[in-house]
Amino acid sequence: MNANDLQLNIADTLGMLLAEIAALTKRADAIKDSIKDNATAGGASVVEGNLFKATVVEANRNTVDYKKLCADRGITADELVAYTKVCAVFSVKVTSR
């Protein structure tokens, strides 16, 4: 039996698409890393092609270390529950067979 003989269903199609996306994302990330590495080493922060332009942008990101905040303020896990919002999230997990 070869791949052309298989009866593919929606799960198979989704799995194949996600595999293609993963491969493309890996390639795109490698190119992005190369552009960022060049720019942070003093190279161009803008790379222009015939169809697209890639620009390296620096931004600061702030995050709160909730574990440290709770420890420093003496906030227990039980107290934190009163300020925690819970909502249902649905996702589709795909694995190969």
One DSSP character per residue, 4-36 reads: GGS---HHHHHHHHHHHHHHHHHHHHHHHHHHH
Mean pLDDT of 43-62: 95
Strands (E), the chain: 46-48, 53-55
Residue 97 has pLDDT above 90, yes or no: no
Q: pTM higher than 0.75 for the full model? A: no
Q: What SS3 class is residue 52? A: coil
Residue 95 has pLDDT above 90, yes or no: no
- pLDDT, tens digit (0-9, with 9 covering 90-100), for 1-51: 566 677 889 999 999 999 999 999 999 999 999 999 999 999 999 999 999
